[in-house]
Structure 1
């Protein structure tokens, strides 16, 4: 088990180190891989960055305790990725952006750019990085049962694992940069697809006492309500939220979240970026094999589990041979490192390019690329240390790990999405409207979640606030419009010719996405 675990990690690290040994040491080389990534690197990086240990632990726990409605997040993201590929990436690449707040700096002003950069940094420090460390630690302990092997209590074991994962990931991000992370993701991505098929195949055979058909029959014949991905009003994820807050969050996540978009910004041209995003969307179609099916199998094997965060690890260790278990552990670990590294890489980029460099320039201080990379690394190390201290305490959050992730992210995501969208679709809305919109949205959302009980699902609340904030910004634009309408100047660093066959693949992806909803519905296997 341990041999196969370390073998895959060593292979991935060796390939990554060898291929990036001559990588540029400039800020563009370190943070954007010198804008040289092909579509395989872009697609695998997007997919692996999204598929962290948080997803493995959180979504399988949700399927066990609720039903397949959690699948809606991943399936509906395919539509969001198509929208991002077609409408947002051409804009980012046209302005030569290194970060998504760069657009806000051009569209509104530098204050708005700095404000959103700070929001991103707070989000990553409070939500992303600690959650990734915690999720991976829970998964690793569950698979290897380290608390029993080491004779330690659960909390202490999680704290030690968090420290190990954090130090390992930090070294990778600080020393390797984005291109090293992306190449590592290709190796891990291949392993993840293979692992997903093996988990489903072997898990169903185990459920059927060695017979695959019997396992499938048990899975489909018992607890059928858990097979339903179409949530009713009043449930944890009502189906209607796909068309309100969930769609907004998904477009934000795939098209504006810096640690995700940075993979696409590093593409060698627009066509490779669009191909890479489509490749990641294909991966989302296979994701339920890893994120949801193990939870369904565990429901048949272990009804009534108390510590439901152990659903995925327990199912893996009980059903898979040791060699395959080690492979899956390496995949989970690699997925966590990919997300963690992408987060740290974006933290370094946002801090150095949007905060530190402008601050030094205002003081008439010259700073070279090596200084920028060095300062970014110091910030990355600092954030890692804070996350290592804080992340073990996530276990005390009531409502489940996945609920923690989604609700914490909501405070930062849709407010930024709103001002980004208004900036994209209007020409005369001024910078003061963006600042007012951010302040209003965040304040109103905090009140609806912590002070006043609206009786509405939080995703519906987000959608309503999106509409109200958009109207507020449009009204301000009507009262005090920009003197000159905004126009996008071409400052592209790469070729902007789009992928010619993209519409064929977009249609195919939407058809397959719709098919997945029909499969896991009362019209399909949940009837």
Structure 2
């Protein structure tokens, strides 16, 4: 373990924590609005950075570089094509959410359907966070830190034990940050991490190319563009990690769900001071997503030329970082990875607590006739976060035994919870007479069918195509129920709002530039570009 790397890691991480504390020490966290939504007063830079870093975590660094190393650049579709989904959410979905002045995405489903649907969806969200999101962030963070600092090698400790220790260290640190700082502290640290990533962070491919070229950057570049060029190909075939056709089926649905429905993402956007700030923030996050392959994909391509026969391919990224970077930069990137891990973890904890308090606990307490002060509610919210954190820390180490690999596990299990919710949301947005019972039947049908297809029968069809097929079938089932048993009084959306809903006037031409950049990236990473 290099002392310079460790010192750099501690200094940068500590510096970010101190700045976040200084920026938030006067914030009122004794109310649910202050704890969960930063009092709805975030500017576009803070919103964009918060959304981006709620998405970017060690699971992406570890998982996508691993798949690029073992497969090719087709995996970049998860991030790059999300730009289209983010722009759709910015233009069509966020105005609806802000118009309804919701606090959680299930709130809209309550307005459109009924309270039972809201409760069911809230529980689905919480189960997803407990078994998938929070454990995967902790596990990937532990893998990254062991790969960078090589604790298991240096101290001759069993790998399984090291993962347990690191998972608990990350979990405790993340929980303390969320409990003490709330959403505002998370957003401030995200802004600082965003600046660090898109300045110093982008130097990693250069260091890796120099390592490959034995000190010569041009020589390293010539090697990766001359040999094994198939790894540059983003146009995935049927046997690749992401077949190109799935971009237009299940992946589109997953991305639309993620950016427009996922609570820990939407909660960052709901903290915006107005619609224009929200849309500017989403555009800023889109720029970040287009730059992300430099860190979460391209290092995996370079690693193909440096390593062969790795027993644990999940450690490709941290191994490359440790081997190719000077000590200070290794510490800098370790701090960045640590921040990426605990900001997503914190956002997940914060949004889980939001769902529990506002959708489950508070309504239950009011129904029982209990009059709870804001201070009591905040105290209960923090206790719930502690319980959730402990559950995630116990589950996380067992991801090591996932049979189909870490990243495939994350995406496959995520599909079990995500697209069913998005399906009933879409039907609710596009219709006025589909009744609440149709939403509940749709959820049960989708989840059960997907679970059988993926975990019982294991049919020979990419899980993203399975999601798309079930989306169509579930929507058709809901429409049929709506035709047979329509609402007697059509649903009427909320018209009166307090928040400013004037859209950003430059959003359309900015969206066009972003979409052209998206297409350009697929041309670069294709058989007519670097993969020729």
Q: Which category describes the TM-score, using the shorter chain as reference length?
A: over 0.9
Distance 1:249 1:143 in 2: 31
Cα displacement (A) at 1:11: 1.5
Please tell me whether residue 364 in structure 1 is matched to residue 369 in structure 2.
Answer: yes
Corresponding residue of 1:327: 332
* 2:427 aligned residue (422, 426, 437): 422
User: 1:11 and 1:375 mapped to 2: Cα distance?
Assistant: 30
- 1:497-522 deviation digits (Å, cap 9, x = unpaired): 11110001100000000001111111
What is the rounded CA distance, in whole Å, between the counterparts of 1:465 and 1:87 in structure 2? 24
Q: Does 1:55 align with 2:60?
A: yes
Structure 2 segments unaligned to the other structure (5+ residues):
none
Q: CA–CA distance in 2 between the matches of 1:65 and 1:240?
A: 20
Deviation at 1:218, TM superposition (A): 0.6
Map residues 151-300 of structure 1 onto 2, 5 A cutoff. Answer: 151-300=156-305
Q: TM-score, with normalisation over the residues of structure 1?
A: 0.99
Q: CA offset at residue 100 of structure 1?
A: 0.6
- 1:177 and 1:94 map into 2 onto residues whose CA distance is 25
1:128 is aligned, of 133, 137, 141, to 133
Q: Write out aligned runs for 1:26-65 (5 A).
A: 26-65=31-70
- Provide closer, same or farther for how the CA distance between residues 75 and 491 of structure 1 changes in structure 2, counting only shifts above 3 A: same
Q: Is the 8 A contact 2:58 2:140 kept in 1?
A: yes
CA distance in 2, matches of 1:98, 1:482: 26
Please list the CA deviations of residues 454-499 of structure 1 after superposition, one character each: whole Å capped at 9, or x if unmatched.
3221111110100010011011111111111112114534211111
Task: Output aligned runs, 1:330-369, within 5 Å.
Answer: 330-369=335-374
Query: Quick one: which of 2, 17, 21 aligns to 1:13?
Result: 17
What secondary structure sits across from 1:451 in the alignment?
Answer: helix
CA distance in 2, matches of 1:151, 1:526: 41
Aligned to 1:301: 306
Distance in 1 separating the partners of 2:289 and 2:65? 15
Question: Are the counterparts in 2 of residues 127 and 405 from structure 1 also a CA contact under 8 Å?
Answer: yes
Give the whole-Å Cα distance in 2 for the aligned partners of 1:490 and 1:357. 26
In 1, the alpha carbon distance for the partners of 2:68 and 2:517 equals 21
Q: What is the alpha-carbon distance in structure 2 between the residues aligned to residue 301 and residue 194 of structure 1?
A: 25
CA distance in 2, matches of 1:450, 1:325: 39
Residue 519 of structure 2 is aligned to residue 514 of structure 1: yes
Q: Is the CA contact (8 Å cut-off) linking 2:47 and 2:269 kept in structure 1?
A: yes
For residues 130-189 of structure 1, what are the alpha-carbon distances to aligned partners after superposition, in whole Å with 9 as ceiling and x for unaligned? 110000000011001112333311111111111110000000111110011000111111
- Work out whether residues 136 and 336 of structure 1, in 8 Å CA contact, stay in contact via their aligned partners in 2: yes
Residue-pair matches, total: 527
CA distance in 2, matches of 1:273, 1:304: 46
Alpha-carbon contact 2:67-2:241 (below 8 Å) kept:
no
Q: CA deviation at 1:52?
A: 0.3
Q: Is 1:503 the equivalent of 2:508?
A: yes
Deviates more, 1:16-25 or 1:433-442: 16-25
In the aligned structure 1, how far is the partner of 2:146 from the partner of 2:458? 38
Shift of 1:453: 4.2
Unpaired segments of 5 or more residues in structure 1? none
**Given that residues 93 and 493 in structure 1 are in contact (C-alpha distance below 8 angstroms), is that contact kept between their aligned partners in structure 2?**
no
Say if 1:32 and 1:262, in contact at 8 Å, map to a contact too.
yes
| Corresponding residue of 2:412 | 407
Q: Does the Cα contact within 8 Å between 1:96 and 1:491 map onto a contact in 2?
A: no
Closer, same or farther in 2 for the Cα pair 1:19/1:397, shift >3 Å? same
1:99-118 correspondence to structure 2 within 5 Å? 99-118=104-123
Question: Contact conserved, 2:72 with 2:240, CA < 8 A, in 1?
Answer: no
How far apart are residue 237 of structure 1 and its match? Answer: 1.4
Distance across 2 between alignment mates of 1:493 and 1:230: 46
Q: Any idea what SS the aligned residue of 1:236 has?
A: coil
Q: Is the 8 A contact 1:418 1:469 kept in 2?
A: yes
Cα distance in 2 for residues equivalent to 1:98 and 1:491:
16
TM-score normalised per structure 2? 0.98
Cα distance in 1 between the residues matched to 2:232 and 2:523: 11
Alignment check: 8 A CA contact 2:74 2:233 kept: yes
CA distance in 1 between partners of 2:272 and 2:57 (Å): 22
Report the Cα offset of residue 234 of structure 1. 3.5
Shift of residue 65 of structure 1? 0.6
**How far apart, in 2, do the equivalents of 1:492 and 1:328 lie?**
44
Q: Contact (CA 8 Å) 1:196, 1:289: kept in 2 or not?
A: no
* SS, match of residue 42 in structure 2: coil
Deviates more, 1:2-11 or 1:433-442: 2-11
